[in-house]
Structure 1
Amino acid sequence: MKYSELLEIWKETNLEFSEIILAQEMIETGRDPERVKENLRRLMNVILEESEKNIGKKFETLTGMTGDNGLKFYKHSPKMVSEFNHLATTVAISMGESNASMGRIVACPTAGSCGVVPGALYALKKTYNANEEDLLKSFIVGSGVGNVVANKATLSGAAGGCQAEIGTATAMASAILTYYFSKDPVKVGHAAALSFKSLMGLVCDPVGGFVEVPCVKRNGSAVNVAIICSEMALAGIESVIPFDEVVEAMYNVGKSLPESLRETGIGGIAGTKTAQQIVEKIKENWSKNT
């Protein structure tokens, strides 16, 4: 179902938007709405648990290209960003590094973009003392946005570039934030569209094919895109292009990207001289240890 169709149901019924999303899931898949809701509650609580456990932690990752960036940002006294942004960014980076060290994560929507939604949720919980039910409603709405993308386009970096992975995570996080503060599905659509448009065309270029560089720090940047796009939507700024059309555009852009820019570890940042040297050193170290 398109997002515009969900909006039409909401306008006609004025029901709680998260319940509309759950009902639509039942129509499409036959899954019991209450069971889906409780599954999403469980996933959300895992996200919050892992965020609390891992924020500012140092990790040992497979290649060593990352692992202490969350710690560095955690210890940093912000000069420009708010407490909210600082928390969200620290969690986003930390969860990305946890994933790179084989820690427990919720792929939301993918492993490579697993820090963006946790950053938004954790910052809401800690900064605004958000209760579980309000967070869950917002999380369901964010999940609904992700589901639209999954059904109408792709969540795969190999198929659509990083815009499909980190872009979708950013749209979801922005939707979560916007719904939490406004309960307005129209503004949610604008926030999600603005998020996607900000990251349109982003390539998937992991150095050596490992989900470490530039993936981890992209999570940190992306959660701030989600925050500012939500803030713009809350201020009444609208996306001229509707969310459904933005998703379609993202999909078309992704299909037009060359293979080298779709998770192959060949082009983009992965194709730089320094990246190639790093990969050679990793190979040398592994050969010595085997």
Structure 2
Amino acid sequence: MLNTAKEILEFCEKENKRIYDIVIKEEGSISGKTEEEMRAQVDEVIEVMEESAQKNLDQAHKTKYGMIDGFAHMTYEYAKNGDPMVGSFLTEAMAMAFSTSEVNDAMGKIVAAPTAGSAGIMPAALMAAKKKYDFDNKTLQNGLLTFIGIGQIVAKYATFAGAEGGCQAECGAASAMSAAALVEMRGGTVEQCLHAASIAIVNILGLVCDPIAGLVQYPCTFRNASGVMNAMISADLAMAGVTSFVPFDEVVVAMGEVGRAMPVALRETGLGGLAGTPTGVRIREEFLGKKEK
């Protein structure tokens, strides 16, 4: 993968290519697979994403500790029958993000994209956009391949691990990758893809990782819902012509630096932030099966 936003833009302009073309070429050179074989694998991923995003919309999932019970179903019903301030489309997208989080809680089949804790963002973005714009299969493939390409830049300069970089590295990265995918699927430019990804990380820079009892339920589920919203507004801003003054690769470097500066208690240890509240400590003690000293 090319190293900087500038290199990506220059290459795509010179060769008349898209970000997904770079991903296909690089993967082909490593694996020896044809484009058709790679796209078939992408279809398998999309199928799992669709199933997880839809599974709990019409049923109320229950959890052991009651932290995220039935959120997908409640939100979906509100999208259909309520009067959401953000509109039914965005509310339904949040419900889809909740659904994948609930499937993950039940040990169901998900795509950790890029992590289990942020796994609801891309499926919700992908399926909500598919429903709204009636995207064909190749468009969805190109979106997911763009998602992968942006992720390669994140992996190069920072991390996906909440234990290393906080939730900005999980839900922030997923939002950025999804924002670029949405721009690609909507027919935006490569430059707009990169601006959308930058804006999404800027919006979530510094977010801590503080799951109660170390479980990626609370507050992770809310951050998946807000993460898909972040991806969508970032995509819209980029397509409106709004730009990120700091290039994408520099934004990711900053995210990595911020993550390393975070106290350990705020990096997925289940000790600080919401995990350190009296309620959080009580749930942790129940989960561990013992009273902490």
Is residue 178 of structure 1 aligned with residue 179 of structure 2? Answer: no
Deviations 1:138-162 (A, max 9, x none): 1111111112111221111111111
Deviations 1:201-257 (A, max 9, x none): 111100011111101111011111111111110100000000000000001111111
User: Structure 1 regions of 5+ residues with no counterpart?
Assistant: none
Rounded to whole Å, the distance in 1 between the matches of 2:46 and 2:16 is 25
**Which of 147, 150, 155 is 2:155 aligned to?**
150
Question: Secondary structure of the residue that 2:265 maps to in structure 1?
Answer: helix
The match for 2:115 is 110
Q: Is the 8 A contact 2:56 2:102 kept in 1?
A: no
**Which of 71, 74, 89 is 1:72 aligned to?**
74
Q: Is the 8 A contact 2:56 2:73 kept in 1?
A: no
Which amino acid is the alignment partner of residue 43 of structure 2?
R
The match for 2:283 is 278
Rounded to whole Å, the distance in 2 between the matches of 1:59 and 1:113 is 18
User: Structure 2 regions of 5+ residues with no counterpart?
Assistant: none
Distance verdict in 2 for CA 1:48–1:163, change over 3 Å: same
The match for 1:32 is 33
Aligned length: 285
Rounded to whole Å, the distance in 2 between the matches of 1:95 and 1:211 is 12
**Which of 53, 67, 74 is 2:55 aligned to?**
53
Q: Is the 8 A contact 2:121 2:228 kept in 1?
A: yes
Q: Is the 8 A contact 2:274 2:280 kept in 1?
A: yes
The match for 2:93 is 88
* Segment drifting more, 58-67 vs 90-99: 58-67
Rounded to whole Å, the distance in 2 between the matches of 1:57 and 1:170 is 26
Which amino acid is the alignment partner of residue 274 of structure 2?
I
Identity %: 38
Which amino acid is the alignment partner of residue 96 of structure 1?
S
Rounded to whole Å, the distance in 1 between the matches of 2:167 and 2:126 is 22
* Segment drifting more, 171-180 vs 111-120: 171-180
Distance verdict in 2 for CA 1:33–1:163, change over 3 Å: farther
Which amino acid is the alignment partner of residue 132 of structure 1?
N
Q: Is the 8 A contact 2:65 2:283 kept in 1?
A: no
Rounded to whole Å, the distance in 1 between the matches of 2:19 and 2:284 is 47
TM norm structure 2 = 0.91
Q: Root-mean-square deviation (CA), in Å?
A: 1.8
Rounded to whole Å, the distance in 2 between the matches of 1:45 and 1:94 is 15
TM norm structure 1 = 0.92
The match for 1:126 is 131
Cα deviation for residue 282 of structure 1 reads 4.5
The match for 1:2 is 3
Rounded to whole Å, the distance in 2 between the matches of 1:33 and 1:198 is 37
